[in-house]
A and B are shown apart, each in its own frame.
Chain A
Amino acid sequence: MSPPVPSKILTDDVSLLMVLIDTNPHFWSSIKPHFSFSKFLSHVLAFLNSILLLNQLNQVVVIATGINACGYVFDSSSGSVSQRAESLLPKLEEFAENDESLSERDDDSGNGVGSSLLSGSLSMALCYIQRVFRSGPLHPQPRILCLHGSPDGPGQYVAIMNSIFSAQRSMVPIDSCVVGIQHSAFLQQASYITGGVYLKPQQLDGLFQYLATVFATDLHSRNFLRLPKPVGVDFRASCFCHKNTIDMGFICSVCLSIFCKHQKKCSTCGSTFGQAKTHDPSASQQR
Chain B
Amino acid sequence: MPQVKIVAKNFMDMVASLPAMKLDKLYQNAFICQAILRSMPPLAKRYVLQLLFIDAPVTGKMLEESVLADGLSKHKVAIDRLVQLRVLTEALDRKKEATYRMNPTFQMNVQKLIVHGGVLPREPMPSTAGFRLPSLEELDAYAVQQWECFLLHLISSSEAEKATTNISSSMMKVFQRGLLSQKDDKEPPRLTEGGFQFLLMDTNAQLWYIIREYIGNSEERGLDSADLVSFLLELSFHATGEAYNINTLSDIQRAIIRDLADLGLVKLQQGRKESWFIPTKLATNLSISLSDTSSRKQGYVVVETNFRMYAYSSSKLHCEILRLFARVEYQLPNLIVGAITKESLYKAFQNGITAEQIISFLQQNAHPRVAERIPTVPENVTDQIRLWESDLNRVECIPAHFFEEFPSREVFEAACDHARECGGFLWENSKKMWLVVKAESFAYMKEFLRGKKQ
Contacts and interface: CB of A to CB of B under 8 A. Distances in A.
On whether A and B touch (CB less than 8 Å), the answer reads yes
Interface of A: 10, 12-14, 46, 49-50, 53-57, 80-82, 84, 86, 136-138, 208-209, 212-213, 216-218, 220-221, 223-227
B284 interface: yes
Main secondary structure on chain A at its contact with chain B? loop
A47 B310 CA distance: 47
Contacts of A136: 368, 372
A137 to B, nearest CB: 5
A217 B50 CA distance: 10
B240 interface: yes
Given A49-B117, A81-B284, A137-B371, 19 more contacts: A12-B293, A12-B294, A49-B113, A49-B115, A50-B114, A53-B113, A54-B38, A54-B49, A55-B293, A56-B38, A57-B288, A82-B237, A209-B50, A213-B46, A224-B43, A224-B68, A225-B43, A225-B68, A227-B66
B216 interface: no
B446 to A, nearest CB: 53
B450 interface: no
Nearest to A50: B114
Contacts of B115: 46, 49
B373 to A, nearest CB: 10
Given A53-B34, A137-B371, A212 B71 contact: no
Contacts of A12: 293-294
A81 B242 CA distance: 12
11 contacts: A13-B45, A49-B115, A53-B34, A53-B38, A80-B239, A82-B118, A82-B237, A213-B49, A216-B49, A220-B42, A226-B67
B402 interface: no
Interface in B89-140: 110, 113-115, 117-118
Interface of B: 34, 37-38, 42-43, 45-46, 49-50, 52-53, 65-68, 70-71, 74, 110, 113-115, 117-118, 237, 239-240, 284, 287-288, 291, 293-294, 296, 368, 371-372
The 3 closest A-B pairs by CB, nearest first: A224-B71, A13-B42, A212-B49
Contacts of A208: 53
Interface of B, secondary structure class, is helix
Contacts of B117: 49, 84, 86
B295 to A, nearest CB: 10
Contacts of A50: 49, 52, 114
Contact of A223 (B34, B71, B291, B294): B71
Contacts of A49: 113-115, 117
A80 B241 CA distance: 11
A272 B288 CA distance: 66
Nearest to A137: B372
Contacts of A217: 46
B114 A225 contact: no
B38 A226 contact: no
B104 to A, nearest CB: 18
B70 A81 contact: no
B46 A216 contact: yes
B50 A225 contact: no
A146 B287 CA distance: 31
B50 A213 contact: yes
Nearest to A84: B117
Nearest to B285: A56
Contacts of B288: 56-57
Contact of B240 (A53, A81, A225): A81
Contacts of A56: 38, 287-288
B68 A226 contact: yes
A225 B239 contact: no
A82 B71 contact: no
Contacts of B49: 50, 54, 212-213, 216
Contact of B38 (A55, A84, A218): A55
Contacts of B50: 209, 212-213
Given A209-B53, A212-B52, A225-B71, A53 B110 contact: yes
A50 B115 CA distance: 9
Nearest to B236: A56
B75 to A, nearest CB: 8
A14 to B, nearest CB: 7
Contacts of A224: 43, 67-68, 70-71, 74
Given A49-B114, A53-B34, A137-B371, A221 B294 contact: no
A53 B46 contact: no
Nearest to A139: B296
B73 to A, nearest CB: 9
B52 A54 contact: no
A14 B34 CA distance: 16
A78 to B, nearest CB: 16
A79 to B, nearest CB: 12
B363 to A, nearest CB: 13
B31 to A, nearest CB: 11
Nearest to B111: A46
A164 B49 CA distance: 29
A221 B287 contact: no
A81 B237 CA distance: 10
B108 to A, nearest CB: 14
B43 A221 contact: yes
Contact of B114 (A14, A53, A137): A53
Given A49-B113, A50-B49, A53-B110, A14 B293 contact: yes
A1 to B, nearest CB: 19
Contacts of B45: 13, 54-55
Given A81-B239, A223-B71, A218 B114 contact: no
A36 B375 CA distance: 54
A86 B294 CA distance: 29
Contacts of A218: 42
A225 B37 contact: no
A206 to B, nearest CB: 9
A226 B43 CA distance: 12
Nearest to A14: B293
Contact of B291 (A46, A55, A212): A55
Nearest to A212: B49
B68 A57 contact: no
